[in-house]
């Protein structure tokens, strides 16, 4: 069962003191094929990031200790209206919190493309739980873009290569780009380097078949 606790934070950008709910414990019972955890009780994912209600600086708890000057400058000069829409400051949706965090970390020199992709992936999990398919798709596309850039730039550690290839393929499948999904899922299934994970290979093969089936069904509908 998900247990939350209230923590007190001080915004490193504007100095505002505020309370936020954080995760105390979680009971995980499985995961979706894009690694979204299935839990007993409330979805905890939304509560791993915190947002200042005044300036909307958003980050993981550990990053509230200090802020880089570029991030501070960005937050203080940005309204975030496109992300916030009409949400109340103290009751933001999980997907909104992650979108704000992604915007902030994009200005943090320590954040890698994989780190940013992971934030958009988590935003897509939250959007799915919120029933917002349009936002879920938009976040999945942002995650794909950054994961692909990370692979292209050689930024992915060998231990994570196969998993990231799998995730790109699975996200392509979820947004309906079946040919691209099959290509990436085959790469994950056939991955042969030192850090090959047979479970990821099996999952990639399974999801590759699912993508192929969807593509074939679409071809029949098009005829």
Q: Does 16 engage in binding with Zn ion (CB under 5 A)? A: yes
- Taking CB under 5 A as the binding criterion, the range among 4-12, 66-74, 164-172, 180-188 that sits at the site for Zn ion is 4-12
Q: Of these, 36, 49, 52, 102, which contacts Zn ion (CB under 5 A)?
A: 52
Q: Of these, 7, 23, 55, 212, which contacts Zn ion (CB under 5 A)?
A: 55
8 A C-beta contact, residue 177 and residue 141: no
Q: Does 9 engage in binding with Zn ion (CB under 5 A)? A: no
- Taking CB under 5 A as the binding criterion, the range among 14-22, 88-96, 106-114, 193-201 that sits at the site for Zn ion is 14-22
User: What is the spatial distance between Cα 72 and Cα 68, in angstroms, rounded to a whole number?
Assistant: 6
User: What is the spatial distance between Cα 54 and Cα 80, in angstroms, rounded to a whole number?
Assistant: 12
Smallest separation (angstroms) from Zn ion to the CB of 166: 37
User: What's the angle, vertex CA 143, arms to CA 190 and CA 64, rounded to 5?
Assistant: 125
8 A C-beta contact, residue 43 and residue 130: no
Smallest separation (angstroms) from Zn ion to the CB of 13: 5
* Residues forming a β-bridge with 38: 30
Smallest separation (angstroms) from Zn ion to the CB of 222: 51
- Reading phi first (left if > 0) and then psi (alpha if -120 to 50, else beta), residue 3 is in beta
Smallest separation (angstroms) from Zn ion to the CB of 62: 17
Residues at the contact surface with Zn ion, assessed by CB under 5 A: 11, 13-14, 16, 52, 54-55, 57
């Amino acid at each position: 069962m998900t247990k939350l606790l209230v923590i007190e934070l001080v915004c490193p950008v504007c100095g505002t003191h505020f309370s936020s709910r954080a995760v105390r414990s979680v009971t995980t019972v499985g995961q979706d094929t894009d690694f979204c955890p299935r839990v007993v009780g409330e979805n905890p994912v939304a509560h791993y990031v915190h947002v200042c209600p005044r300036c909307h600086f958003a980050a993981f708890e550990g990053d509230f200790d200090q802020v880089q000057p570029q991030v501070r400058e960005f937050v203080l000069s940005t309204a975030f209206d496109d992300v916030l829409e009409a949400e109340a400051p103290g009751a933001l949706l999980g997907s909104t919190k992650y979108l704000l965090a992604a915007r902030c970390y994009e200005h943090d020199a320590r954040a890698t493309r994989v780190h940013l992709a992971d934030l958009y992936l988590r935003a897509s999990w939250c959007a799915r739980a919120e029933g917002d398919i349009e936002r879920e798709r938009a976040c999945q596309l942002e995650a794909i873009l950054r994961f692909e850039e990370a692979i292209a730039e050689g930024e992915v550690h060998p231990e994570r290569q196969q998993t990231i290839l799998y995730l790109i393929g699975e996200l392509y499948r979820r947004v309906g780009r079946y040919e691209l999904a099959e290509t990436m899922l085959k790469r994950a299934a056939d991955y042969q380097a030192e850090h090959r994970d047979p479970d990821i290979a099996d999952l990639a093969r399974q999801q590759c078949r699912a993508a192929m089936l969807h593509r074939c069904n679409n071809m029949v509908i098009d005829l």
